[in-house]
C-alpha cells in the first residue's frame, strides 16, 4: 500500500486503540458517576410529596428557594465560619512548622514530612474517635486540667471540639503546600529584604509572605473545602447539637426525607468545590 495511506492507517489504528483502552473506565464513569450526578441535579428540581417520597413530575425551584430560608442559611453560615476558623488556625500553626522543615537538612526534612503524613494515612474514623476519647468527660485532657488546678474541661460536643477535630484532620494539607512554596524561596531575596528593611517582620510582610502566597492559597483551599462539607467529624465530636452542612444534607435523606432539598444542597456544595478547585489551579497550585 502507498505510504500516505499507511501513515493514515497507523494514525487511525492508534486512535482506535487508545479509545478502546479508555472505553471500559469511561463507560463505567459515565454510568456510575456522571449519570448519578445528573440525577442529583434533576432531583433538585423535584418536589417532596407529603408522604416523604419524591415526585419528579412537577419541576420547580422550590428546593433551591428553600436554601434561602433562615434554617438553611444558618447552617451554611455556621459551616462557613467553622471552616474559616479551622483554616486560619491551620495556617497559623502550619506556617512556622513548614518554615522549620524547609530549613533543616534533607534527611531530617524528609523524616519530618513523612512524620506529618503518617497519621493522615491512618483510618479517618479512628482518628476522630481518638479525639472523642481525649475530650470526653473524665477523659485524659479533663483529668490533666483538673490535676493542674484548672478544673474539668468539657469540650466535647462543642464547636471547639469540632474545630480541633478538623484541624487535626486537615493540618497536613496545609503543611505540605506551604512547605513546597517556602522551599522554593530564593534565599537571596530574603537577604536583600533584610538589607532594605532591616527588620524581620517587615521582610516577612513584604517579601516572604507575598512570595509564599501560592502555598498559602493552595493550603487554605485544601483545608477550607473539605471542612465545609465535613460530616463524620462534626457528628462524632459535635454531637449534632448545632447542625452543620454535612449533617444537614444527610438528615434530608435519612430522617427528613426531603430529597430535593438534599439534592440541591449537595449540588451547591459541589459547585463550591469546583469553583475552589479552579481557583486553586489558576493560582498556580498545581505548580507547587
Q: Please report whether residue 210 would count as binding other proteins according to CB under 8 A.
A: no
Q: Which of residues 103-122 bind other proteins (CB under 8 A)?
A: 103, 112, 114-116, 118-119, 121-122
Nearer to other proteins, 76 or 116 (CB): 116
Q: Which of residues 175-204 bind other proteins (CB under 8 A)?
A: 175, 187, 190-191, 194, 200, 203
Q: How many Cβ atoms from other residues are within 10 Å of residue 69's Cβ?
A: 11
- Write down the least CB distance from residue 3 to other proteins, Å: 4
Q: Select from 28, 196, 209, 279 the one that contacts other proteins (CB under 8 A).
A: 28
**Nearest 10 degrees: CA dihedral of 63, 64, 66, 67?**
130
Q: Please report whether residue 75 would count as binding other proteins according to CB under 8 A.
A: no
Q: Select from 91, 139, 158, 284 the one that contacts other proteins (CB under 8 A).
A: 139
Residues 6 or more apart whose Cβ sits within 8 Å of residue 158: 238
Q: Select from 60, 69, 96, 206 the one that contacts other proteins (CB under 8 A).
A: 96
Q: Which of residues 216-245 bind other proteins (CB under 8 A)?
A: 225-226, 228-229, 231-232, 235-236, 245
- Write down the least CB distance from residue 98 to other proteins, Å: 10
Q: Please report whether residue 256 would count as binding other proteins according to CB under 8 A.
A: no
- Write down the least CB distance from residue 254 to other proteins, Å: 8
Nearer to other proteins, 14 or 69 (CB): 14
Alpha-carbon distance 160 to 82, whole Å? Answer: 9
- Write down the least CB distance from residue 159 to other proteins, Å: 18
Amino acid at each position: 500500500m502507498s505510504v500516505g495511506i499507511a501513515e493514515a492507517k497507523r494514525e487511525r489504528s492508534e486512535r482506535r486503540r487508545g479509545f478502546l483502552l479508555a472505553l471500559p473506565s469511561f463507560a463505567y464513569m459515565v454510568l456510575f458517576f456522571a449519570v448519578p450526578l445528573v440525577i442529583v441535579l434533576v432531583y433538585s428540581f423535584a418536589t417532596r410529596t407529603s408522604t416523604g417520597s419524591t415526585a419528579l413530575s412537577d419541576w420547580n425551584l422550590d428546593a433551591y428557594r428553600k436554601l434561602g430560608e433562615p434554617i438553611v442559611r444558618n447552617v451554611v453560615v455556621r459551616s462557613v465560619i467553622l471552616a474559616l476558623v479551622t483554616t486560619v488556625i491551620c495556617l497559623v500553626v502550619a506556617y512556622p512548622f513548614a518554615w522549620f522543615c524547609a530549613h533543616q537538612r534533607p534527611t531530617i526534612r524528609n523524616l519530618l514530612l513523612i512524620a506529618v503524613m503518617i497519621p493522615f494515612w491512618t483510618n479517618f474514623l479512628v482518628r476522630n474517635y481518638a479525639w472523642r476519647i481525649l475530650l470526653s468527660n473524665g477523659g485524659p485532657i479533663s483529668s490533666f486540667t483538673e490535676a493542674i488546678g484548672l478544673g474539668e474541661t468539657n469540650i466535647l460536643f462543642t464547636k471547639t471540639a469540632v474545630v480541633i477535630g478538623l484541624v487535626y484532620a486537615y493540618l497536613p494539607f496545609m503543611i505540605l503546600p506551604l512547605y513546597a512554596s517556602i522551599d522554593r524561596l530564593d534565599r537571596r531575596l530574603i537577604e536583600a529584604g533584610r538589607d532594605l528593611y532591616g527588620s524581620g517582620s517587615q521582610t516577612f510582610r513584604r517579601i516572604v509572605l507575598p512570595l509564599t502566597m501560592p502555598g498559602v492559597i493552595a493550603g487554605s483551599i485544601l483545608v477550607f473545602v473539605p471542612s465545609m462539607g465535613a460530616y463524620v467529624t462534626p457528628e462524632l465530636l459535635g454531637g449534632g447539637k448545632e447542625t452543620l452542612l454535612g449533617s444537614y444534607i444527610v438528615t434530608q435523606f435519612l430522617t427528613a426525607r426531603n430529597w430535593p432539598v438534599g439534592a440541591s444542597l449537595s449540588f451547591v456544595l459541589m459547585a463550591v468545590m469546583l469553583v475552589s478547585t479552579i481557583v486553586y489551579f489558576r493560582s498556580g497550585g498545581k505548580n507547587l
